[in-house]
A and B are shown apart, each in its own frame.
Chain A
């Protein structure tokens, strides 16, 4: 086709736009997809579009749809309305760099996740707000912060009607960024067949509905409404609800009059719209924000029956003018409204005419194209908000510097102890020796086991516990105590959290002389076990640091967390086998098994005693570590703001 030649004489390079959504043609047909396709098509002279979506089909990853390259990331089904595509965030991150503008079609939390971690910050982002999250509203508390971060990063937010901004609290926070660009429709395709009185179906009772067969579209309500009245109902669309709807039709005995047509191509759909007498959009929830299909029906000159949602739906086709609006989910009222129109050809004709006029004048494709182009252009040309570059020069050396300064500070902290007393940190070791002696004798009273052989392990466990406990507790106040270095010398806050781990590690080395002495005196000397315990011990230290990083930052932001952290740590300690060894209690309690501390100790204590590690413990610790690392990365992003908190 002639587009291929066009590329050769493209004068300046067109900026490229990456459309980010969960699904695209040919896997599905639907309103949002039509919008994306129309944007790609209508802006093709000004922008080079590309699409990144998920797909469950195992076919080609790279396809071309209407001259637009589409990359489809493999998805393994749907989880809570989201494609389970583990590699999507990674692909998105890779693709971000290749494009000049990112267009996210929200809601799509999988992409929010990428933006929440701060990726793609250097590229201008435009969010198309198609709908709020309605279906799985229970997940809001988790998704909303992510969406807020995305919106904060966005240069512009595009909505189809201003009512969405008014009714969505999240959007109201960003009202100044919102641009209203009503969807437009190219009405030229709808001129066939001519809209004339005699073309209206002679039987005068064909009702059409169109949409994905998903619960919020409310087709079950429509089918129930059909049962009470005498009209023919055709439903265009495909989706997960199909078996249920088919069963419902069967049960109500409507197989004669109600048909599920499945997916239908554009040309066919327009023909059907021109054939129908009434178009119905029975949507139930605010997930339906605009209803592009009702606009198509209007362009075809059909009267509409829609529902009174808090979105643009009843504002595109207005009650009494182009539509009859009924309460959502009310089969009785819906049936009556359809019946009213079926029985009154003159009203149908008037409404249909009004509808077509409105579609032509108010929702023209030209206005839509111009609106989109303006927003996109402004987003691309707006000065990009480059973040401070001085915070992250060559990152490797910066990290190394941070670690070195943290080590210096930790070393000086330790020397400080020696300044105050000759014994320095050994005072604490002495104290710990006493604790171990007392505990050992108490345990000896409680169980008949050989106390002396347990003492080295008890002392070592206490050393490790003291390390973990003090690192976390120190971290909760570390940033406040170093406020002047952070604010006046611009040292990165993470240094002072690292300092806690280093300092307590030095103290732990002092304390370790207690278990070491006990071991030398009381146990047979076997070094191989010690070597086997090293990987576990490393995991323990890394987990401790990650935990202190996360909790330290949070406790600085929220001061009331410190006592909670203190008491939780104490509880975790008591409910873990730190002072007991696992075989002292014949079967471990559930609490003890669920306690992460149990496993964090098990991964190095078991090899030290020569027994194999329980795989559950390893899995438990690795999962905890993965979570902690994720949380740490998020914390590191937030730590940029630490200077505000102290």
Chain B
């Protein structure tokens, strides 16, 4: 049983200025009784989300409205300041593509390393399958990533990140990073991945994309839920087609 339950979750995000990183400054401040004021913003404010198997939730909102922070909160990167979070199922956060990449290593080693970081034992066939998806030449597997163009690099990273299904998938805006030809193929793969996951939460500015993928879209504003829109399912149509083909 996979589920996400956030009840009245708040997150106070401390903003550390240059002085807040200094222990000397802090101790001195205490000696001369200067009030140590810590700036705090409420990045997530009283958010309640209940999601069961099958939920595809889109997070929309302007920059700084707390989309990424909310995803990180669910992923367990930040502890909530108050409220309750209960999650069942394994969470795979894909928030930044280039986390853990070592540009000096050859491509296949990087793929193997990334797979290990996400808890899988890489095999030759796995790497070959991932490589096939990138549509890059086989000999490039032996080249260090430093020599790849940024577009090619993104293909490799995208292919690796999306290679395996997850119970709960957290995605932050990163479809836009790939070039146009690849974008179509990437979206298809993403949709495929989404269709295999039990719960998907996706943060994006791309309203049409959210409408295609999600069952409901949550609009965030200053960390609060401004509105929840339920999307009528033209999206499921695409899924059914694929299932019939498979």
Residues of A within 8 A of B (CB): 383-391, 401, 405, 408-409, 412, 415-416, 419-420, 484-491, 554, 557-561, 640-641, 643-645
Partner of A385, one of B13, B25, B83, B91: B83
Q: Which residue of B lies closest to A644 (CB)?
A: B14
Q: Are A390 and B84 interface neighbours, CB within 8 A?
A: no
Q: Which residue of B lies closest to A560 (CB)?
A: B22
Residues on B with C-beta less than 8 A from A419 are 104-105, 144
Q: Are B76 and A391 interface neighbours, CB within 8 A?
A: yes
Q: Are B85 and A389 interface neighbours, CB within 8 A?
A: yes
Q: Are B93 and A490 interface neighbours, CB within 8 A?
A: yes
Interface of B is mostly: mixed
Bound CA span A487–B99, Å? 9
Bound CA span A644–B13, Å? 7
Partner of A490, one of B77, B80, B83, B119: B77
Q: Are A386 and B117 interface neighbours, CB within 8 A?
A: no
Q: Are A559 and B21 interface neighbours, CB within 8 A?
A: yes
Residues on B with C-beta less than 8 A from A408 are 113, 116-117
Would you list 20 pairs from A and B whose C-beta atoms are within 8 A, ordered by A residue? A383-B84, A384-B84, A385-B83, A386-B85, A389-B88, A405-B119, A408-B113, A412-B109, A415-B105, A416-B102, A416-B105, A420-B104, A484-B98, A488-B95, A489-B95, A489-B99, A489-B118, A490-B91, A490-B93, A561-B23
Residues on A with C-beta less than 8 A from B102 are 412, 416
Bound CA span A641–B13, Å? 10
Q: Are B84 and A385 interface neighbours, CB within 8 A?
A: yes
Bound CA span A172–B84, Å? 26
The 4 closest A-B pairs by CB, nearest first: A488-B96, A558-B23, A490-B75, A484-B99
Q: Are B24 and A560 interface neighbours, CB within 8 A?
A: yes
Bound CA span A491–B118, Å? 9
Q: Which residue of A lies closest to B12 (CB)?
A: A644
Residues on B with C-beta less than 8 A from A386 are 84-86
Residues on A with C-beta less than 8 A from B78 are 641, 643-644
Residues of B within 8 A of A (CB): 7-8, 13-14, 16, 21-26, 72, 74-80, 82-88, 91, 93-96, 98-100, 102, 104-105, 109, 113, 116-119, 144, 172
Known: A384-B84, A559-B21. 20 other contacts (CB 8 A): A383-B84, A388-B76, A388-B85, A390-B76, A390-B87, A390-B91, A408-B113, A409-B113, A416-B102, A416-B104, A420-B104, A486-B77, A488-B94, A488-B95, A488-B96, A489-B100, A489-B117, A489-B118, A557-B21, A561-B23
Residues on A with C-beta less than 8 A from B94 are 488
Bound CA span A614–B91, Å? 51
Residues on B with C-beta less than 8 A from A384 are 84
Q: Are A641 and B79 interface neighbours, CB within 8 A?
A: yes
Partner of A405, one of B8, B76, B116: B116
**Separation in Å of the B90 CB from the closest CB of chain A?**
8
Residues on B with C-beta less than 8 A from A488 are 93-96, 99, 172
Most buried by A among B74, B82, B100: B100
Interface of A is mostly: helix
Q: Are B80 and A405 interface neighbours, CB within 8 A?
A: no
Bound CA span A309–B8, Å? 42
Q: Are B8 and A487 interface neighbours, CB within 8 A?
A: no
Q: Which residue of A lies closest to B24 (CB)?
A: A560
Q: Are A487 and B72 interface neighbours, CB within 8 A?
A: yes
Bound CA span A490–B86, Å? 16
Most buried by A among B87, B91, B99: B99
**Separation in Å of the A35 CB from the closest CB of chain B?**
29
Partner of A558, one of B22, B80, B83: B22
Q: Which residue of A lies closest to B8 (CB)?
A: A383
Residues on A with C-beta less than 8 A from B113 are 408-409, 412
Residues on A with C-beta less than 8 A from B72 are 487, 490, 643
Partner of A388, one of B16, B79, B117: B79
Q: Which residue of A lies closest to B85 (CB)?
A: A388
Q: Which residue of B lies closest to A405 (CB)?
A: B117
**Separation in Å of the A330 CB from the closest CB of chain B?**
29
Q: Are B119 and A409 interface neighbours, CB within 8 A?
A: no
- Tell whether A484 pairs with B96 under 8 Å between CB atoms, given A408-B116, A644-B78: yes
Partner of B105, one of A405, A412, A485: A412
Bound CA span A99–B7, Å? 24
**Separation in Å of the B115 CB from the closest CB of chain A?**
10
Residues on B with C-beta less than 8 A from A645 are 16
Residues on B with C-beta less than 8 A from A559 are 21-22
Q: Which residue of A lies closest to B18 (CB)?
A: A559
Residues on A with C-beta less than 8 A from B117 are 405, 408-409, 485, 489, 491
**Separation in Å of the A403 CB from the closest CB of chain B?**
12
Residues on A with C-beta less than 8 A from B75 are 390, 490
**Separation in Å of the A494 CB from the closest CB of chain B?**
13
Q: Which residue of A lies closest to B118 (CB)?
A: A489
Bound CA span A401–B120, Å? 10
- Tell whether A487 pairs with B85 under 8 Å between CB atoms, given A405-B117, A644-B13, A644-B14: no
